[in-house]
Structure 1
Amino acid sequence: MEDDRELGRMLVDLFTDEGYEVDLAVEGQRGLHLGLSRAYDAIIVDRGLPVVDGIDLLRRLRRQAVTVPVLVLTAFGAVADRVAGLDAGAEDYLVKPFEIEELLARVRALHRRNLDQAGLLPVGSAWLDPAAHMVLLRTGEEVVLSGQECRLLHALALRPRQVHTRPSLRQRVFDGASTEAVVDTYVYYLRGKLGPGVVTTVRGVGYRLGEL
């Protein structure tokens, strides 16, 4: 939510290029409507919005139990201003002028926090929702997994740096199925749905989580 139209367009282009879906509101009433009616991973709010001030907008969202993480992006940089923004319910506060890389990093952190609260696990740049048996891609696409596929990916995602042996995966994921070939079969299925890089083969040892 940014009333400077040139900066707003720049931010839309920036976050779109990063793979986000973006809505822009140039005044507070429109921003409030969007915040109450749509689901977002993160919201950026300028304090100096017309019609409804950014801090007032933030308070209204929180009163309506909207818990999406919010970054206040503003020219008001005094300590009292920062305190007011954080007390109103913002998770982060960034003062203009700002560095693009810092803004992107802060939004990524808010996005992770939102997904962590939802019980999702990172799989490269995507997220696994174990309860729904699906992977959420950054493009917004949802890839549905079978129960066994989900359990295998969940086991790998819980310890992403660990190399998991076939015997250990057979016991933990497949309840000690008769042969270790079942592990290879479901790795094949996951790669077919999510791409060859989702699971990495460590020769002579087993598998670990890869990248999407």
Structure 2
Amino acid sequence: MTSVLVVEDDGELGELLLRLLRQAGYAAALARDGQAGLHLALTSRPDLLIVDRRLPAIEGLDLIGRLRRAGLQAPAIVLTALGTVADRVAGLDSGAEDYLVKPFEVDELLARVRALLRRRPPVDNCLPIGYAEFDLITRTVTASDGRVTTLSGRESDLLRLLAGSPARVFSRGEIVSRVFPESATESLADTYVHYLRRKLGAGVVTTVRGTGYRLGTL
């Protein structure tokens, strides 16, 4: 799932953007100052940034500059009450791709988000799990709040099986044959479902009584 990090110190506006982005189908997270935004961006590696210009701790343009120097190239939209040409130029020169002056229309912001995301190169090594994202290469699950969990090889194989067909119910025997082909012990399916739930939360795998398991949500 495409992830968006909002860095906004206005609590009411930040929560509004968070809710709207999630309703639009994005995995959205919120940081309330520049320092928190820097940490969350570097740990969660979002697909897009929405950054307020005037932030506590680290100013918005400085934040974008630091992230660019750290190698994070996710497109950024700057939100600000400063709307002069000089302010816009400063925002774009900082490394931002777009600049939106407050007050703004929500539909316009979402349109700009979609436009910037269309420019991204395709990524095929990630699978969505609710609002979280499962990276098949690094075997990590990144939650919407930026928390990253690393899975073992077998845990990753099981989650990949379930996430690859999220609506399908897999029997315990089928899970064992596809994830643990060297074993005939169906209880291994139960054991590794338990491991995934312990690491990622009880909702990550749904039990279908009398049938087996399917992907849940985070």
TM-score > 0.5, shorter chain as reference? yes
Q: Which of 1 and 2 has higher RCO (CA within 8 Å, sep 6+)?
A: 2
For 1:53-86, what per-residue CA distance to the aligned partner results, in whole angstroms no more than 9, with x for missing partners? x9xxx9xx99x9863133466899xxxxxxxx9x
TM-score by length of 1: 0.59
Query: What is the CA-CA distance between 1:129 and the residue it aligns to?
Result: 2.1
% identical equivalent positions: 45
Greater strand fraction, Structure 1 or Structure 2: 2
For residue 74 of structure 2, what is the aligned residue in structure 1? 68
What is the RMSD computed on CA atoms of the aligned residues?
A: 5.0
Give yes or no for contact 2:203–2:217 (8 Å, CA) kept in 1: yes
For the pair shown, which has the larger CA radius of gyration, 1 or 2? 1
| TM-aligned CA deviation for residue 131 of structure 1 | 2.1
Output aligned runs, 1:75-90, within 5 Å.
90=97
Bigger mean CA deviation after superposition, 165-174 or 108-117:
108-117
1:201 alignment partner in structure 2: 207
| 2:197–2:203 Cα contact (<8 Å) kept | yes
C-alpha separation in 2, matches of 1:113 and 1:137: 24
Q: 1:13 to 1:108 in 2, by over 3 A?
A: farther
**2:9–2:33 Cα contact (<8 Å) kept:** no
Report the CA distance between 1:200 and its aligned residue.
0.3
The code of the aligned residue for 1:139 comes to D
Shift of 1:105: 9.1
Q: Measured at CA, do residues 144 and 112 of structure 1 come closer, stay the same or move farther in structure 2, by a change above 3 Å?
A: farther
After alignment, is 9-18 or 177-186 more displaced?
A: 9-18
Give the aligned partner of residue 136 of structure 1: 142
TM-score (norm 2): 0.57
User: Gaps spanning 5+ residues in structure 1: where?
Assistant: 1-7, 26-33, 48-53, 77-84
Task: Report the secondary structure of 2:30's partner residue.
Answer: coil
Contact 2:10–2:32, Cα closer than 8 Å, also in 1: no
Please, which runs of 5 or more residues in structure 2 have no aligned partner?
A: 1-7, 19-28, 54-60, 84-91
What's the counterpart of residue 190 of structure 1?
196
